[in-house]
Amino acid sequence: MAELAARVRRRSEGHPGRFLLGIAGPPGAGKSTLARGIRDELNLAAGATIADVAPMDGFHLTSAQMRAAGILDRKGEPDTFDADGYVALLRTLRDTALGTPVSWPTYDRDIHEPVPGGVVFDRQSIVVTEGNYLLLDDRAHPAWAPVRPLLDETWYLDAPRRIIEQRLLRRHIRGGRTPEAARTKVAHSDLRNAALVESTRTRADLVLRKAGRGYRFD
């Protein structure tokens, strides 16, 4: 983790405004854990809060919105997020001077809803944003195409399919689904999302895979 954080520090030195690092990867790969680890290493080394995490999950549509649109059972797929809102706020983070607060939504896995203003960027010069669709750039999902150009560096976090499946099953069961409903969600939605995200792997600047307590470059 320290080596990865040092890479970010080197890339961000002398960068005008905020430096935006994007961490993409399939659901269940461990993106949130990596993003928090990078943030914590950067802040520890600096002795100050110079970095924070801006999760893509904060742009989930609400359950009420998805229910009204008849897409609640597909939650997590590309069109169940406010991609336009995500792009707009990423651009705001890039364009806003340090010291001017910018609120960013997060996601609460206990209530399964986005939380407005979950994190506020102020003096933080490094933003770590993580999510499935940061590298998506095709005609089927044009709303996501503007994301990659807004990021100064992108990483892809890979994970074996069996590990992803196990993690997602546990996540859905902890979230209140029955084991049968969790298996259906994973098989018919999550793994399809994972296949889509895997097709974006080659667009990343760096590909990582968890190895023991650290990460290795693929």
d(CA 27, CA 40): 22
pLDDT confidence of residue 74: 87
Structure tokens at 20: 């935006």
- For residue range 45-60, list pLDDT tens digits in order: 999 999 999 999 999 9
- CATH number for the domain formed by residue range(s) 2-211: 3.40.50.300
Q: Where are the domains of the chain?
A: 2-211
DSSP 82: -
Could you give the percent of the chain with pLDDT greater than 70? 100
Q: Which helix (H) or strand (E) holds 130?
A: strand 126-131
Q: What are 55's two structure tokens?
A: 């999760």
Q: Residue 153: which pLDDT band, with cuts at 50, 70 and 90? A: very high
pLDDT score of 207: 96
Mean pLDDT within 23-45: 94
How much is the pTM? 0.90
Confidence grade of residue 164 (pLDDT, cut at 50, 70, 90): confident
Average pLDDT value for the chain: 91
Whether pLDDT at 66 is above 90: yes
- Interacting residues of 20 by C-beta distance below 8 A, sequence separation 6+: 90, 93, 94, 127, 129, 150, 151, 152, 153
- Where does the pLDDT of residue 100 fall: very low under 50, low under 70, confident under 90, or very high at 90 and above? very high
DSSP calls for 163-192: HHHHHHHHHHHHTT--HHHHHHHIIIIIHH
Q: What is the pLDDT of residue 15?
A: 87
List Cα–Cα distances, 159 to 19, 27, 40, 63, 217, in angstroms: 26, 10, 22, 28, 12
